[in-house]
Amino acid sequence: MTMNDHVHIDEHRDDEGAKTGMWIFIFTELLLFGGLFIVYSVYRYLNPLAFHLAAHELSTFTGTINTVILLVSSMTIAMSISAIQYKNKKLTLILMGVTLFLAFLFLVNKYFEWSGKISHGIYPGSTILQEASRGEILFFGLYYTMTGLHALHIIIGMAFIGYVMRLVAKDKIQHDNFIILENSGLYWHLVDLIWIFLFPLFYLIT
Amino acid sequence: MEKEQHPHIVRYRTYVYVLIALLFMTLTSVAVTHIYLGPYTVATALLLATLKSTLVLLIFMHLKFDKKFYSYMVAGVFLLLTSVIIITFLDYLYR
Amino acid sequence: MSETVLQHNQVSYLEYQGRFKGLFAWIFSTDHKRIGLLYLYSMLVLFSVAATLGLLMKIELIAPGKTIMDAQTYNSFFTLHGITMIFLIVVPGLPAVFGNFFLPIMIGAKDVAFPKLNLLSWWIYILGALVVLSSQFIGDGPPDTGWTFYAPYSFRTGTNMLPAVTGAFILGFSSIATGLNFIVTIHRMRAPGMAWMKMPLFPWALYGTAWIQVLATPIVGVTLLMIVLERTLQIGFFDPALGGDPILYQHLFWIYSHPAVYIMILPAMGVISEIIPTFARKTIFGYKAIVVSTLAIAFVGYFVWGHHMFTSGMSGTALYTFSILTFLVAIPSAIKIFNWVATLHKASIDIQTPFLWALCFLFVFMIGGLSGMVLGALSANVHLHDTAFVVAHFHFIVFGGTGFAFFGALHYWYPKMFGRMYDKGWANIGLAIFFTGFNTLYLPMFYLGMIGMPRRYYDYVEEFHGPNIVSSFGAMLMIAGLIIIITNLIRSARKGEIAEADPWKGKTLEWSIASPPTLENFDEIPVVTKQPYDYE
């Protein structure tokens, strides 16, 4: 752009500022889900029994597996930041690759979970759900909206990490210049953080 | 964690310990669901979720090692969301 | 400024030749000043559209029955008027135009923290504007829900809601990007010596605003997303037939949209806090009190959303709580008014156009604020809810508050932005006509509301005819004033006389640099040692 050909933008890099920016962005994401958590808590309060019943439809096992997957992936991306600081490029790439693989696994799981539900005729607007109680309609509405939005964030996170991996591979990110890696890690932990709350709210209220 | 280094490098071991703690809490919250029934199930599940997220925030997201300013902001945001939920419930609880 | 060798930094930002030429030198520029002007020009265009819609609505209301448009057209007019004015002009207005242009300069920085993100936010803004406007031309007719998109009507109406809602959703990202940028800029890029308590009040106001932008906008984002899902997938969240609660929609919508009122008014207060000390030639009275009340408004303002819903059927407990909190939020606003008036006390005032705008702001903002107190009282609200009184109240705040501050800021910083001075005579005449028209337009609506005229109807009973004639006449007068003001400003950008670097004898940093500023604002980053309004 017009100003890039010189000076101050690259002159002094501000890692701290980039991190502050990332955190503020994370706050907006938290509040985005926060709005849905408000909806969830209100309808859960108004329809306790129906939510309880509807949750039986979800498999605690699948939910637990996905929680474990996300927690492990959160650890690997956190470790990759230590690895780059120890100047271990290879390990950094491996750890990031593992994170991406686990994220993919999470999505595969989610795919089978969703398609299972949909093949049973449980999806917003389906005839089976139309005949269900209102609480159950709301439960599944929330289930699809919240896990769907979460899955979308997984995909965005994967794209972000994938992009950063390229930068690591090309040595654009090194032991003294890894703020983008740190920020992609922060984003990934956010995804994890939201799941930590989604999991008990949907899978553990039976 | 004891080394005063700048920037801080977290040891791999620390992360492994945190992961073990997180997995333990996850399994506990699942197990608790099978034991109790009643209002305490939700409370326990949410308490464990809060503990887990605190661990993630402090260690994985480096709040413990960063400037205090970040922790304050995060605390503020969670406080804000909680207050908004409480005020919304002033309507639903008493309707 | 030192006239040394003509380097790129010696040319004004208006003349600077970058990699691109012509229009592209603007729409691809990451210079915060050019982005500020991009926003200004875009808003000028949108404002003319929305103001025209407003004028046409007032002409419709000049007589009972159908005058120039039918009910459905009227509905879609007030919807588009509301969406455009709120989401495209008043909410982004002051931060995006004057915040972008002056925040870095006033804190002694060369640009914002993330210049590319800044440009991106303008592009997102344009995209959002196009999507919103497309709702008028495609699908099954223009939206007719009003700017609040209340459920369940917003997913039952056959009109073309999706683009309007999606557009508002997209605009949220632009708003968040600007807020995020400003917070980081203020935290990281203040000039050496500029402690928090040495920061001018406009940046302080932008700081409070930015936090609301960042923390409130996501809630409306997800709410609008739910409306989209409701329309496309029947998710049932706000549909009583599917178990949803439409009042929950109102909660979520106002959790954003009430703080949004403070997104509009806080920077306006910041502008007034800049103009008043400059023309009073006096340091501002109670600097700290203004800073604290800015943050207090930002904070308490987050918890008063329910006062838009007093008649919705909320619980009694919620009603009392929201009413009390509403009265509380008036305190910091009143503190500011007292501080501004106290600043004028025993000052050697230089009466210039920007100062007159600030005075008019005080007048209309007082009326707007006090009528807000009337609406904040539960019993009065039941009577006045959804009447013309509410319309008068929020136009006094949003147009009277933010709008007056916007034009005040434009007249105050104009010589700095364009390096030329407007014709002060015409500016004052325009202001006088505009101010008269404004009050003639909106004051009768308080009365109309009290005697029971509902808002959002194209028709009314004969009893309301008299005040409506006055009000519609006021609208025409006000538009005439606007035309004079805007024509004068546009003409002067080319033909006005060359302005000095500090025509108003201001003390904040923007007056210490050239008019118009050079590309990087400062040859050398200044070291700040004094308070911002140091006239002693």
Query: pLDDT band for position C8 (50/70/90)?
Result: low
Nearest CA in chain A to C223: A35
User: Nearest CA to CA, how far is C235 from chain A (Å)?
Assistant: 5
pLDDT tier at C520, thresholds 50, 70, 90:
confident
Q: In the structure encoding, which two tokens stand for residue B44, read together?
A: 């326990």
- Check CB contact of A115 with chain B, cutoff 8 Å: no
**pLDDT at residue A12, as a whole number:** 61
User: What are the two backbone dihedrals, phi and then psi, of residue C20, each rounded to the nearest 5 degrees?
Assistant: -105, 160
Rounded CA-CA distance B60/A186 in Å is: 8
pLDDT at A3: 39
- The 8 Å CB, 24+ separation contacts for A53-58 are A53/A133, A53/A135, A53/A136, A54/A132, A54/A135, A54/A136, A54/A139, A54/A140, A55/A139, A55/A202, A55/A203, A55/A204, A55/A205, A55/A206, A56/A206, A57/A117, A57/A120, A57/A122, A58/A113, A58/A143, A58/A202, A58/A203
Chain A nearest-CA distance from B49, in A, is: 6
Buried b (16+ CB within 10 A) or exposed e, B19-56: beebbebbeebbebbeeeeeeebbebbeebbebbbebb
Q: What is the pLDDT of residue A14?
A: 87
> How high is the mean pLDDT of chain B?
86
Mean pLDDT of chain A, nearest integer: 90
A184 neighbors A160 (Cβ within 8 angstroms)? yes
Cα C315–chain centre separation:
32
Q: Assess contact for C361 and C268: CB atoms under 8 A.
A: yes
Sequential DSSP letters for C178-216: HHHHHHHHHHH-PPTT--GGGS-HHHHHHHHHHHHHHHH
Q: Which of B32, B67, B77, B91 to mutate to test the interface with A (most CBs of A within 10 A)?
A: B77
- Assigned domain for A165 exists: yes
Helix (H, G, I), strand (E, B), or coil: what is residue C420?
strand
User: Which subunits sit against B, judged by 3+ Cβ pairs under 8 A?
Assistant: A, C
Whether residue A45 lies inside any domain: the answer is yes
- Residue A191 has a pLDDT of 96
A34/B contact by beta carbon, under 8 A: yes
pLDDT at C158: 84
- Residues in B closer than 8 angstroms to C303, CB to CB, are 83-84, 87
Q: Which residue has the tokens 């209301």?
A: C61
- Identify which of C157, C152, C145 has the alpha carbon closest to the alpha carbon of residue C81: C145
**Cβ–Cβ under 8 Å, residues C280 and C345:** no
Separation between Cα atoms, residue C410 and residue C415, nearest integer Å: 9
Q: Are C62 and C472 in contact (CB under 8 A)?
A: yes
Residues in chain B: 95
Chain C residues whose beta carbon lies within 8 Å of the beta carbon of residue A14: 113, 188
Q: Which residue has the tokens 């006449």?
A: C473
Distance from CA of A20 to the nearest CA of C (A): 6
Asked if residues A39 and C247 have their Cβ atoms less than 8 Å apart, the reply is no
pLDDT above 90 covers a percentage of chain C that reads: 79
CB-CB contact of C433 with C483 (8 Å): no
Q: What integer best gives the mean pLDDT of chain C?
A: 92
Taking the CA of residue B92 and the nearest CA in chain C, the distance in Å comes to: 7
Give the distance from residue A152's alpha carbon to the nearest chain C alpha carbon, in angstroms.
Answer: 14
Say if residue A1's pLDDT is above 50: no
Length of chain C in residues, anyone?
536
How close is the nearest chain C Cα to the Cα of B87, in Å? 7
Residue C455 has a CB neighbour count (10 Å cut-off) of 17
Question: Is the pLDDT reported for residue A81 higher than 80?
Answer: yes
Q: What is the mean pLDDT of residues C4-11?
A: 56
Residues of chain C numbered 386-425 and touching chain A (CB < 8 Å): none
Q: Are C9 and C519 in contact (CB under 8 A)?
A: yes
Domain-located, residue A9? no
Contact C183 A34 (CB under 8 A): no
Q: Do C113 and A14 touch (CB under 8 A)?
A: yes
Is B67's Cβ below 8 Å from some Cβ in C? no
pLDDT at C157: 86
The CATH number linked to A89 is 1.20.120.80
Q: What per-residue confidence (pLDDT) applies to B1?
A: 33
Inter-chain residue contact B87 with C306, CB threshold 8 Å? yes
Which phi and psi (to 5°) does residue C420 adopt?
-135, 155
Q: How far apart are CA C303 and CA C253, in angstroms?
A: 13
Q: Which of B18, B85, B93 sits opposite A38 (nearest CB)?
A: B85
Bigger pLDDT: C137 vs A185? A185
| Interstrand relation of C420-421 and C497-498 (parallel, antiparallel or unpaired) | antiparallel
Q: How far apart are CA A181 and CA A80, in angstroms?
A: 8
Give the confidence band of A4 by pLDDT, cuts at 50, 70, 90: very low
Contacts of A16 in chain C (CB under 8 A): 188
For chain C, list the domains and their CATH numbers.
31-512 (1.20.210.10)
Kindly list the partner chains of chain A, i.e. chains with 3 or more CB atom pairs below 8 Å.
Answer: B, C
| Shortest Cα distance, chain A CAs vs residue C244, angstroms | 7
- Cα angle value C439/C431/C91 (rounded, 5°): 75
Distance from the A175 Cα atom to the nearest Cα atom in chain C, whole angstroms:
23
Against chain C, the chains showing at least 3 CB pairs within 8 Å are A, B
Residue recorded with tokens 């156009």: C353
Judging contacts by C-beta atoms under 8 Å, the chain B residues touching residue C306 are 87, 91
Residue C241, pLDDT score: 86
Q: What is the pLDDT of residue B36?
A: 65
Angle among Cα C42, C48, C517 to the nearest 5 degrees reads 40
Residues in A closer than 8 angstroms to C31, CB to CB, are 2-3
State both tokens at C474: 């006021």
Contact (CB<8Å) C315/B83: no
Whether residue C240 has a cis bond before it, omega within 30° of 0 = no
Residue from A71, A95, A193, A198 whose CB has the most chain B CBs within 10 Å, to mutate: A71
Task: Of A14-18, C13-17, C336-340, give the lowest mean pLDDT range.
Answer: C13-17
Q: Are C369 and C336 in contact (CB under 8 A)?
A: no
A82-101 residues touching B, CB cutoff 8 A: 82, 85-86
User: Mind listing the pLDDT tens digit for each residue in C282-298?
Assistant: 999 999 999 999 999 98
Please check whether residue B25 touches A, CB under 8 A. Answer: no
Whether the link from the prior residue into C516 is cis, omega within 30° of 0, is: yes
pLDDT band at B4 (very low <50, low <70, confident <90, very high): very low
| Tokens encoding A19 | 């991190």
Give the pLDDT of residue B2.
Answer: 34
| Chain A residue with Cα closest to B37 | A206
Total of domains in chain A: 1
> Touching check for C295 and chain B: CB below 8 Å?
no
pLDDT for residue A98 is more than 50? yes
* ipTM, two decimals: 0.92
Say what the pLDDT of residue A9 is: 40
> pLDDT at position B6, please?
53
Inform me whether the pLDDT recorded for C427 exceeds 60.
yes
C467: its two tokens = 């005040």
Say yes or no to pLDDT of A11 above 60: no
Residue with the two structure tokens 């106001």: C205
Flag the least confident range among B79-88, C8-17, C524-533.
C8-17
Q: Give the C-alpha separation, A61 to C402, whole Å.
A: 55
* Residue-range definition of the domain harbouring residue A182: 15-203
| pLDDT over threshold 70, residue C5 | no
pLDDT at residue C108 tops 80:
yes
pLDDT over threshold 90, residue A79: yes
C-alpha–C-alpha distance, residues B42 and B33, integer Å? 9
- Answer yes or no: do B87 and C215 touch at CB < 8 A: no
Q: Please state, as a whole number, how many other Cβ atoms lie within 10 Å of the Cβ of residue A52.
A: 16
Minimum-distance CB partner of C215 among B77, B93, B95:
B77
Closest approach of A16 to chain B, Cα-based (Å): 10
Say if the Cβ atoms of B30 and A19 lie within 8 Å: no
Residue C240 pLDDT > 80: yes
Taking contacts as CB-CB distances below 8 angstroms, the residues of chain C near B86 are none
Nearest to A16 by CA among A160, A181, A179, A186: A179
Summarize pLDDT for C440-486 with one digit per residue, the tens: 999 999 999 999 999 999 999 999 999 999 999 999 999 999 999 99
User: Is residue C4 exposed (0-12), middle (13-18) or buried (19+ Cβ within 10 Å)?
Assistant: exposed
Is the peptide bond prior to C152 cis by the omega test (within 30 degrees of 0)?
yes
Contacts of C313 in chain B (CB under 8 A): 95
The per-residue pLDDT for range C201-235, each reduced to its tens digit, is: 999 999 999 999 999 999 999 999 999 998 888 88
**Measured between CB atoms, does C251 come within 8 Å of chain B?**
yes
Tokens at residue C183, please? Answer: 């917070």
CA-nearest of A168, A10, A6 to A99 is A168
Which positions ≥6 away from C233 have C-beta within 8 Å? A124, A125
Q: Which of A54, A69, A102, A93 shows the shortest CA–CA distance to A203?
A: A54
A150-191 tens-digit pLDDT? 999 999 999 999 999 999 999 998 888 899 999 999 999 999
The answer as to whether A98 is a domain residue is yes
Q: In chain A, what residues touch B48 (CB-CB under 8 Å)? A: 200
Please check the confidence at residue C23 and state whether its pLDDT lies above 90.
no
Task: Classify each residue of C303-329 as buried b or exposed e, where b means 16 or more C-beta atoms within 10 Å of its C-beta.
Answer: bbbbbbbbebebeeebbebbbebbeeb
Residues A107-122: what's their mean pLDDT? 92
Average pLDDT over residues C52-67: 94
Cβ contacts of B47 within 8 Å, gap of 6 or more:
none
